[in-house]
Amino acid sequence: MRVLIVGGGGREHSLAIGLSRSPSVAYIHTAPGNAGTGKLGVNHDVDSSDIAGLVGLAIEIRADLVVVGPEAPLVQGLADKLRGIGIPCFGPHSEGAMLEGSKLHAKNTMFDLGIPTGRCLVIKEANDISKSLDSFHSPWVIKRDVLAGGKGVTVTSDRDVAEQALSSALDVDGMVLIEEHLEGEEASVLVVMDETGFVCLPPSQDHKRAFDGDMGPNTGGMGAYAPAPVVTSSVMRRVVDEVVGPMHHHLRNQEIPYRGCLYAGLMIDEEGAPRVIEFNVRFGDPETQVTVPLIDSDLGELLLAAAEGSLSSVEPSFSGKSAATVVLASEGYPESPTLGGSISGSEVSIDEGETRGIVHYAGTTSRDGIMISSGGRVLAATGIAPSLEVAISTAYEIIENIDLQGSHYRSDIGHRALRR
């Protein structure tokens, strides 16, 4: 079949690699894609925000399946329009996408369903800022209600910073959320879902802070690994019973078309109880880079089954291995990344029996045969191995040989798992 992938980051390159290894997939198209996806198929100069352009492209290439990477086109109704003309789309309708499109909608849905999460307050007036902060212990968690490109959350113990974040969000959006800060260890569970059932991928753990020791500003993610040992089999049962199952039941009963990936961002406390930090409505980045490589069965078949509402008819298999990915970021990322630098050494790969090492391209483009950085997160080195320790060392073996002036990466990806 012909598959169109929407997006241009590391997540989309990881999906393209997985689909390129799928017997069911013959041709891969990506819009807009990056230097990595261009090696696996055809890139098209159509932005992921151009809904009409993407629909037209899907028709033009006679796509049998469209896989949507980023959240914004889903909130804007891309899946609705594609399914309306008979093209299967892996990604929820706009109504289902509001689980990420509105933090307040997601919170209210969780409260209604009894899904464990932290308490929150909605602030609509500047006069309510001070008393709202008094209602929570620091650190304070401030969230914009709308999509903000991964920059809509502030976590701080500085009251002045919290007040400024609340005030700024009010000025822009007219409302803002303040939430309880949850204690424990974070994990992510990506779930392939349709109305007939769901499949949980191996649990992963992201590293949001820019620098070692979980220091510095929040980023889109500086690395990840899977499976995350904090999500034991008993914890996963609770995630299914208390989080994923109730949400799936709700979406099905409300007849909300949800054929795609549900991302549950979780906090696991000392007793192994999961609480939801957030829901996303697409594959995570960089979590995709460590979960998709662990799928042994045909990825195209899995995604198409979900897109067509027949997920219960397939039984995906997993390798049982571990994966780790380390992100290489441009100088100045995340505040003001320097773009346009030449990249060398990224062609390396490792294939030694049970151990593999690959590079997932993200903010990259090719100019006159030279790899150029075009985004804050440039690429990610990923190791897949029988053990997490070997997967991590493989990822670092690759990234240490890649050169981009001023770039930086974390040297402690997987530190929580390695301490266990």
- Mean pLDDT, the chain, whole residue set: 97
The share of the chain scoring above pLDDT 70, in percent, equals 100
Residue 79 belongs to a domain: yes
Alpha carbon distance 30, 3 (integer Å): 8
Q: Quick one: 318 and 402 in the same domain?
A: yes
Q: Quick one: 60 and 195 in the same domain?
A: no
Q: Residue 155 pairs with which residues in a beta bridge?
A: 141
Residue 19 is predicted with a pLDDT of: 98
Can you list the alpha helix ranges (DSSP code H) found in 21-62?
Answer: 51-60
Read out DSSP for 75-99? Answer: HTTHHHHHHHTT--EES--HHHHHH
Alpha carbon distance 82, 256 (integer Å): 16
Residue 353 is predicted with a pLDDT of: 87
Q: What is the mean pLDDT of residues 79-106?
A: 98
Q: Quick one: 163 and 223 in the same domain?
A: no
pLDDT tens, position by position, 230-274? 999 999 999 999 999 999 999 999 999 999 999 999 999 999 999
Q: Quick one: 368 and 271 in the same domain?
A: yes
pLDDT tens, position by position, 340-359? 999 999 988 888 889 999 99
Q: Quick one: 228 and 375 in the same domain?
A: yes
Which of 254, 236, 266, 267 is closest to 109 using CA atoms?
254
Q: Quick one: 386 and 274 in the same domain?
A: yes
Q: What is the mean pLDDT of residues 138-164?
A: 92
Query: Has residue 37 got a pLDDT over 90?
Result: yes
- Structural domain tally of the chain? 3
Query: Has residue 151 got a pLDDT over 80?
Result: no
Residue 249 is predicted with a pLDDT of: 98
Give the pair of three-digit tokens for residue 286: 């960089």
Residue 105 belongs to a domain: no
Residue 362 belongs to a domain: yes
Residue 288 is predicted with a pLDDT of: 98
Q: Quick one: 365 and 253 in the same domain?
A: yes
Give the pair of three-digit tokens for residue 240: 């299914």
Residue 368 is predicted with a pLDDT of: 85
The CATH number linked to 338 is 3.30.470.20
CA separation, residue 362 to residues 137, 208, 219, 257, 286 (Å): 38, 17, 14, 30, 10
Residue 158 is predicted with a pLDDT of: 96
Q: Quick one: 309 and 288 in the same domain?
A: yes
Residue 111 belongs to a domain: no
Can you list the alpha helix ranges (DSSP code H) found in 174-326?
Answer: 233-239, 245-253, 288-291, 299-307
> Roughly how many angstroms between the first and final C-alpha of the chain, as a whole number?
43
Q: Quick one: 283 and 171 in the same domain?
A: no
Structural domain range at position 64: 2-93
- Which residue's entry shows tokens 């990604």? 91
Give the pair of three-digit tokens for residue 22: 């799928």
Read out DSSP for 298-324? Answer: -HHHHHHHHHTT-GGG----B---EEE
